[in-house]
Structures are given as structure tokens and as C-alpha cells.
Amino acid sequence: MTKLRVFAAVIALAACTTTMNADVWNKKTKVTFSGPVQLPSAHSKQGVVVLPAGTYIFRLMESPSERHIVEVTNTRGDHVYTTILAINDYRINASSKTVMYFTERQAGSPQAIKAWFYPGDNYGQRFVYPKVQATQIAAAVNQPVPSHDVAVVEKTTYAEVPVKIETPAKQETAYTAATFDKVDATDSAGVDGDTVAAPAAPATLPKTGSPLPLVGLMGLLLVAMSLLLRRASVQAK
């Protein structure tokens, strides 16, 4: 029976480790907003979605080829409010908490979420708005805003969508990461979130970071437990 307990404990630990790896990989985060917020939405007529005050889950899509696709759901995960194209964002000082940055809007307008940073990460996700909305936000806040063409999104995958920059002067320019350097240096925190998973993970998993070996180990342990149980049953007879 002691051996059985040991095997059961090992299996439980392996299962827990597999789940933790998955959560760190997608940077799952719970965020509560005290007021309405605006997010990009390529598949709505308005190009944006406004979430009322409440608690939401932000996570990266699992696909290794599309590491800049953010999904926003309810806390149960059974309703998707929007799927967002994002680009790399950078902050000089990483914090120990998740932080959502905003573009300041006039009173009465929902605050547009600009970027999302996971705890301990210098690199985060800057949200890309449809062109019409990006142009409006850029003019309102006097800052460049990344944009995409909704028509292109509808015909291709997010990973293939070209990103442009809408300037406060209502001009469209080519995207370069340096466009946001000056703005990023003066960013102030918006809303802190609670990390649902574990501490921050690297941008890409190392080759040894795959959960597949753990799955294989769990299978072997289950077979071993089955044999031990069968043996114990025979001895009891």
C-alpha cells in the first residue's frame, strides 16, 4: 500500500506540473474593472467592444505560431467577448503584478485599453485597433496607435495581418517598434490584475518545457499502478 501511495502522489504532482506549465504559457490573468472599458474587436460592426465594470479573464492563445493573439472571456471561460490582435510592447520597469495600461479618454467615454503586461515581464501585448477606431483614439489622446484593416482580418489569419500606425495628425505610417518608445517611457499604470497562474514565463518555452514528457510519465505510472493493484488483488485471494 505504501508503494501505491507513492505512485499516486507522483501522478498527482505530474498532473499539477502539466497544468501549471499550460497556465504560465498562456499568461492567464484575472482583471477587475471598476468602470466600462473599450477593447478592439475585428468582428463587430463598431470595431470595438465595450465591457461593463466587472471581472474578466485575459489569456494568450495557445498556438505557438500566433503568440500575439489575446482572448478575453468571462471568469468561467465559456463566453468569449473578443479576440485581439496584439504586437510586442516594452516597459522599462517590470512590476510584480499584472498591469493594464489605458489611453486616457474624455470624461464619459470608456477608457480604451492600450496594453497588457504580465507580472515580471518587460515585454507585453499592445492591442491593435481597427483603423477607424485607431484614428479616432490617436487624435483624441495625441499619441500614435497601431491599427489593422478589418477587411484583411476577415480574409486571413491574425498572424498574417499587416500592422500600420495611425498618427494624431490622421496620417497612416508603417509600423516600427520605435514609434512607441517615447510614449512607453512615460506610461503610468492603469489597473492591476490578479495572476491566475504562476509567476511569469519566458516568451517562448524551452525545448525541455513541453508537457508531453509528463504526459508520457503519467501513462507509465498509471500502468504501474494497475499492475500493482492486480498483484495485490491476487495476493489477497
Each residue's pLDDT tens digit, 21-37: 445 678 899 999 988 99
pLDDT band at 56 (very low <50, low <70, confident <90, very high): very high
Mean pLDDT, residues 185-213 taken together: 48
Cβ neighbours of residue 219 closer than 8 Å, sequence gap 6 or more: none
Query: How many residues belong to the chain?
Result: 237
State whether 232 and 174 are in the same domain: no
| pLDDT, tens digit, 9 for 90 and up, residues 144-163 | 899 988 766 665 666 677 88
Domain containing 8: what range?
1-27+206-237
d(CA 128, CA 115): 9
Same domain, 177 and 235: no
pTM: 0.66
The answer to whether residues 167 and 83 belong to one domain is yes
* pLDDT classification of 177: cutoffs 50, 70, 90: confident
Q: Given CA atoms 164, 88, 67, 168 in this order, what sign does their dihedral have?
A: negative
Supply the pLDDT for residue 6: 38
Average pLDDT over residues 176-205: 55
Is there a single domain that holds both residue 188 and residue 215? Answer: no
User: Span 5-30, mean pLDDT?
Assistant: 51
**Cell digits of residue 214:** 509528463
Residues 196 and 217 in one domain: no
Q: How does residue 3 score in pLDDT terms, banded at 50, 70 and 90? A: very low
Render pLDDT for 65-105 as a digit per residue (tens, 0 to 9).
555 889 999 999 999 999 898 888 888 778 888 888 887 66
Same domain, 15 and 98: no
- Asked if residue 32 and residue 20 are part of one domain, the reply reads no
Is the pLDDT at 172 greater than 60, yes or no?
yes
Residues 14, 101 within the same domain: no
Q: What is the distance between the alpha carbons of residues 70 and 85, in angstroms, rounded to a whole number?
A: 7
- Residues 64, 83 within the same domain: yes
Kindly state whether residues 68 and 116 are assigned to the same domain.
yes
Same-domain status, 54 and 140: yes
Distance CA 216, CA 166 (A): 49
DSSP code at position 152: H
| Residue closest to 57 by CA, chosen among 102, 23, 95 | 23
- Report how far residue 85's alpha carbon sits from residue 87's, in angstroms, rounded to the nearest whole number: 7
Q: Is 25 helix (H, G, I), strand (E, B) or coil?
A: helix
What was the pLDDT predicted at 203?
A: 40
The conformational region for residue 96 under phi > 0 = left, psi -120 to 50 = alpha, else beta, is: alpha
> Which helix (DSSP H) or strand (DSSP E) does residue 223 occupy?
helix 212-236
* Residue 15 pLDDT: 38
Domain count, the chain: 2
Strand 29-33 relative to strand 98-103, pairing: unpaired
Average pLDDT over residues 50-55: 94
Mean pLDDT score of the chain: 73
33-49 average pLDDT score: 86
Is residue 95 domain-shared with residue 195, that is, in the same domain? yes
- Return the half-sphere exposure (C-beta side, CA atoms, 13 A cut-off) of residue 4: 10
- CB contact set of 196 (below 8 Å; sequence gap of 6+): 23, 28, 29, 30, 57
23's grid cell: 497556465
